[in-house]
A and B are shown apart, each in its own frame.
Chain A
Amino acid sequence: MTFRQKLKNSIVVLDGAMGTMLQDRGLPLGTLPEEWNLTRPDIIEDIHRQYLEAGADVIYANTFGANPLKFGDRTEEVVAAGISCAKRAASAFKDRFVALDIGSLGKMLKPLGDLGFEDAVNIFKRTICAGVRAGADLVALETMNDIYELKAAIVAAKEVCSLPIIATLVFGADGKTMTGTSPEAAVTTLEGLRVDALGINCSLAPAQMVGIVRRMYEISSLPIVAKPNAGLPGEVDGKTVYSLGADDFARDMAMLSNAGARVVGGCCGTTPQYIAKLRGSLDVSTPPPVWNKKRTVVSSYTHEVVFGGAPVLIGERINPTGKKKLKEALRSGDINYILNEAVQQEERGAHILDVNVGLPEIDETQVLARCICEIQAVTDLPLQIDTSSPAAMERAMRLYNGKPLVNSVSGKQEVMDAVFPLVKKYGGAVIALTLDENGIPATAKGRVEIAKKIVKEAAKYGIKKCDLIFDTLAMAVSADSNAALNAIEALDYIRHTMGCNTSLGVSNISFGLPNRDFINSTFFAMALARGLSAAIINPNSHEMIKTYKSYLALFGYDQGCLGYIGYASSVTSSVEERAVQHSVGEEGLKGAIVKGLKVQAAECARELLKTEAPLDVINGHIIPALDEVGQKFENKTLFLPQLLMSAEAASAAFEVIKSRFSGAANAKKLKVVVATVKGDIHDIGKNIVKTLLENYGFTVYDLGRDVPPQAVVDAVIRTGAGVCGLSALMTTTVQSMADTIKLLREQCPSVKVVAGGAVMNAEYAAAIGADIYCRDAMATVRYCEEQEKLLS
């Protein structure tokens, strides 16, 4: 019997703790448990044998921490020895399985930590390769606090073997993982990655897991795993003891089994006695049934978005088609513009954000990957990866934290051949366009035929119908008066007869017509009434949101119309809005900046531009405001957040001015490169310096954090920067700053180096060869102004 057969037919009993057993057998503090695979294999084998005798179907080899970060080049040896101990023990029993056990690497992935996703994948691969070679029957990924790290481990496993995978995360009593993942998001992401079983281990007692296991079981189409601790830890006479005895543990485990757990075992504090009691208390022949829940769902790292209930809004703003500002932002690498679009759409009520960066002159693969990661750092909405480049799609799907929505596949064979393997590997729901090699069928019937073809082809990859969302293509009604009707007929059939979810890029319908929102919102209402599950729209459009909120109230998705009432009372009429704007105008741009009022500053700048030249607005209002604030900061009559709020307000005003200004808004010649040095991931200080310098009209090139010395030098040479600002927060990275300065002196001796950061002072800065130490952002501005004077 294989492990997959066992999993299919019955309850599976896992083993209990290894660490607890090793401590009892005298593992000295400070010795890594995996060392004993080599030095005390007899003890390891004996512990496995005890668990097998207790009735465990699966034993976890002693390889939890056997990774290159801890064991370096000895990793393979330690893993192989661990698997061998387990296999020797299991060989005396029938139908027992050895799992290669893999825990967290103990390092946090970016953006929270410093470990890159691909680095994590490669580290996991070494352990997994060694385990596979040594003959493991399955891979058990457990005790993961971060679902992103778990994804890296799963991708690694899939790329080096085809062994079954069981994946478990640590949840807190609040029902979330440490990085904020809900049970639903975990199930969605892990099912997308096609593991064999998924669930929860460690941290909680069995009774505390019941709610989480139940939530997982209700939605999952896979077996659920529960491996709790023996209650909560406490101390008696300096020894760690857990609150539940073996009998109590077995009793509480029955609750988990009733809640849907099909794969059960013990984590910290459990021993062979616990597993024996657990085995004895279970009726293994009647496992909780597992069936296809047929859910159309995507997720971020925190939550899921389900299709088929209340219609889903997909924000369309991050797509350069017809958007001059976004095109500029993409070309210049101005990620902040894109991030602000993301946050704004979230605030306006989008459930998912479309991300499309397709421009002929940029490296789409690289830019899309960067945007996906950066956007996931500012919003926890699920994303729709929108590209026609398979390479860009793969990279983005790989790095995405969650189960993405993929836009798109079509009935074209070539496109299906490229997209479906990616969905199979990384998971995802896919927007499927009902067009093929012959174009878009004129009739609804033709579009339905293509939809059926796509369903069939997807099935060849094991992609379920529920992971396809059909877009029946809204085309310009100005060119074809039946365009709206055909799209809606097709979507009605697909939704109600084929039972699949549907989506439309709503605004295409009004192409070529004036006042497009009128047509768009009416078409949107028609489509919603006929079964539209999701719409790609502009969430900034009042007409569209109005239609959506009204639809929810009218179609029973808004209990007591509370959502509608909340929305309607938040919308001010256009007459009132104008009055508000006017009173803001009285404040004056300078006042708005000094007070740090962002919206008002932008509004005032817009007003002023009606009567004044852009440069006059900058020199007559913004710069005096910044000077006043800067001076107050230096006099300590205002403090850091106020300085920054003013800087943000000034930036908002600059944005307005830039859009009216064809030439460079930056009046200054000096260019500045800023970076947090290699080894340092703290960048708040550096970002503050950047914001202020930009306010003062300097051109700033921000290299980010953890920047290698040569990259700093290259940027200075490439940009011709006159000043290079380096920041270090940690004592350990002062050396790295020294290295960077040394290299700058060798390769571009004319650049002035500013050193800053928490560990710096004037003495240190001089010692490592910086031109000046600046204690804060204002000091850096003052220094750059001096340098600017030397230039002119």
Chain B
Amino acid sequence: MNVLTGNLKAIDRREALRYLGCSRSVEDMSGVEGVIDGCEREVLAVQNLKAVYSLYDISRGDGLNLGFAKTDSRDLEKYLSGCNKIALFAATAGAGIDRLIAKYNRISPARAAVTQALGAALVEEWCNTVHAQLTAQYGAITARFSCGYGDLPLTLQRDIFAALDVTKKIGVTLSDDCFMTPTKSVTAIVGIKA
């Protein structure tokens, strides 16, 4: 098991704007850019990037054995064809962003929406960093696959949390409905060829 921490200097603005539904047809960005800049400064100031990952051997036959749990997911099985190992990771951008969102949800819907999008873009970028580390360390070959994609059930989150000891290692918690808090958190599987 490995733990990573990080700190990013900027957030991918295009990604955040995409989450906010900004299309080419938008005429005038003046005014809103100042709000986005301000929110970005706040989000970057409270970021607390952490990740935990580990390597598992996988096997097939009577479903897919992921090394930490079994699953019947056809989509994941297809996705991992040609792989005999996986790297499993959980990553979070921290609870500070949730606090900002909770705050703006009460006093400024515009800033709430912008902070939400920036937080999502930040955790995505952090996942890219973690993914790059997995590629460098293990030669990971696939993109990320998460619970809720295709037929991979959300309930697999419980096994992931137990396998990586996620709450203890990086402070992310899981609700009864398998939603993570801090909300700007991701778990994912990456395939590796021997």
Binary contact track B87-111/A, C-beta < 8 Å → 1, others 0 = 0000000111011011101111110
Interface residues of A in 121-149 (CB under 8 A from B): 143, 145-146
In the complex, B9 has a CB within 8 A of chain A: no
Whether A378 touches B106, Cβ cut-off 8 Å, given contacts A107-B173, A233-B3, is yes
Distance of B95 from chain A, by nearest CB (Å): 5
**B109, A684: Cβ atoms closer than 8 Å:** yes
In the complex, B48 has a CB within 8 A of chain A: yes
Please measure, in the bound complex, the distance between the C-alpha atom of A172 and the C-alpha atom of B94, giving whole angstroms. Answer: 11
Q: How many residues of A contact B (CB 8 A)?
A: 69
**A733, B177: Cβ atoms closer than 8 Å:** yes
**B23, A238: Cβ atoms closer than 8 Å:** no
In the complex, A322 has a CB within 8 A of chain B: no
Give the residue name and chain of the A residue nearest to B24 (CB). A636
Across the interface, which residues of B come within 8 angstroms of A203, CB to CB?
A: 169
In the complex, A104 has a CB within 8 A of chain B: yes
In the complex, A374 has a CB within 8 A of chain B: yes
Give the residue name and chain of the A residue nearest to B168 (CB). A143
In the complex, A732 has a CB within 8 A of chain B: yes
In the complex, A416 has a CB within 8 A of chain B: no
Please measure, in the bound complex, the distance between the C-alpha atom of A336 and the C-alpha atom of B109, giving whole angstroms. Answer: 12
In the complex, B136 has a CB within 8 A of chain A: no
**A688, B109: Cβ atoms closer than 8 Å:** yes
Interface residues of B in 145-188 (CB under 8 A from A): 154, 159, 161-163, 165, 167-169, 171, 173-175, 177-179, 181-182
**A336, B26: Cβ atoms closer than 8 Å:** no
**B68, A730: Cβ atoms closer than 8 Å:** no
A-B contact count (CB 8 A): 168
Across the interface, which residues of A come within 8 angstroms of B182, CB to CB?
A: 108, 112, 178
**Which one of A202, A641, A647 lies within 8 Å of B36 (CB-CB)?**
A641
**A339, B163: Cβ atoms closer than 8 Å:** no
Give the residue name and chain of the A residue nearest to B85 (CB). A238
**B102, A111: Cβ atoms closer than 8 Å:** yes
Across the interface, which residues of B come within 8 angstroms of A145, CB to CB?
A: 167, 171
Distance of B194 from chain A, by nearest CB (Å): 13
In the complex, A335 has a CB within 8 A of chain B: yes
Binary contact track A99-121/B, C-beta < 8 Å → 1, others 0 = 00001101110011110000000
**A684, B116: Cβ atoms closer than 8 Å:** yes
**B1, A112: Cβ atoms closer than 8 Å:** no
Please measure, in the bound complex, the distance between the C-alpha atom of A104 and the C-alpha atom of B169, giving whole angstroms. Answer: 12
Distance of A36 from chain B, by nearest CB (Å): 15
Give the residue name and chain of the B residue nearest to A32 (CB). B162
In the complex, B81 has a CB within 8 A of chain A: no
Across the interface, which residues of B come within 8 angstroms of A731, CB to CB?
A: 154
Across the interface, which residues of A come within 8 angstroms of B169, CB to CB?
A: 203
In the complex, A298 has a CB within 8 A of chain B: no
Please measure, in the bound complex, the distance between the C-alpha atom of A179 and the C-alpha atom of B97, giving whole angstroms. Answer: 10
**A636, B23: Cβ atoms closer than 8 Å:** yes
**B173, A113: Cβ atoms closer than 8 Å:** yes
**Which one of A19, A238, A679 lies within 8 Å of B177 (CB-CB)?**
A679
**Which one of A103, A232, A684 lies within 8 Å of B3 (CB-CB)?**
A232
Please measure, in the bound complex, the distance between the C-alpha atom of A30 and the C-alpha atom of B65, giving whole angstroms. Answer: 13
**B113, A688: Cβ atoms closer than 8 Å:** yes
Across the interface, which residues of A come within 8 angstroms of B48, CB to CB?
A: 172, 174, 176, 178
**B46, A596: Cβ atoms closer than 8 Å:** no
Across the interface, which residues of B come within 8 angstroms of A733, CB to CB?
A: 177
Give the residue name and chain of the A residue nearest to B100 (CB). A378
**A112, B55: Cβ atoms closer than 8 Å:** no
**A173, B5: Cβ atoms closer than 8 Å:** yes
**B110, A179: Cβ atoms closer than 8 Å:** no
**B101, A684: Cβ atoms closer than 8 Å:** yes
In the complex, B20 has a CB within 8 A of chain A: yes
Interface residues of B in 8-26 (CB under 8 A from A): 17, 20-23, 25-26
Binary contact track A162-194/B, C-beta < 8 Å → 1, others 0 = 000000001011101011100000000000000
Give the residue name and chain of the A residue nearest to B148 (CB). A731
Give the residue name and chain of the B residue nearest to A179 (CB). B95
Please measure, in the bound complex, the distance between the C-alpha atom of A688 and the C-alpha atom of B110, giving whole angstroms. Answer: 8
Across the interface, which residues of A come within 8 angstroms of B107, CB to CB?
A: 336, 339-340, 343, 378
Distance of B171 from chain A, by nearest CB (Å): 4
Distance of A300 from chain B, by nearest CB (Å): 12
Please measure, in the bound complex, the distance between the C-alpha atom of A90 and the C-alpha atom of B102, giving whole angstroms. Answer: 48
Please measure, in the bound complex, the distance between the C-alpha atom of A99 and the C-alpha atom of B171, giving whole angstroms. Answer: 23
Across the interface, which residues of B come within 8 angstroms of A232, CB to CB?
A: 3
**A639, B175: Cβ atoms closer than 8 Å:** no
**B95, A639: Cβ atoms closer than 8 Å:** no
**A641, B106: Cβ atoms closer than 8 Å:** no
In the complex, A234 has a CB within 8 A of chain B: yes
**A644, B110: Cβ atoms closer than 8 Å:** yes
Q: What are 30 A-B contacts defined by CB distance under 8 Å?
A: A106-B173, A107-B181, A112-B181, A114-B181, A143-B168, A172-B48, A178-B171, A180-B95, A180-B96, A180-B99, A202-B168, A234-B2, A235-B54, A238-B57, A339-B107, A340-B107, A596-B110, A635-B25, A636-B23, A636-B26, A639-B21, A640-B22, A640-B113, A641-B20, A644-B113, A647-B110, A687-B109, A688-B113, A730-B177, A732-B178
Seed contacts A642-B31, A648-B108; 12 additional CB < 8 Å A-B pairs = A30-B162, A106-B173, A108-B175, A113-B175, A170-B171, A178-B48, A180-B95, A240-B54, A336-B106, A336-B107, A379-B103, A687-B105
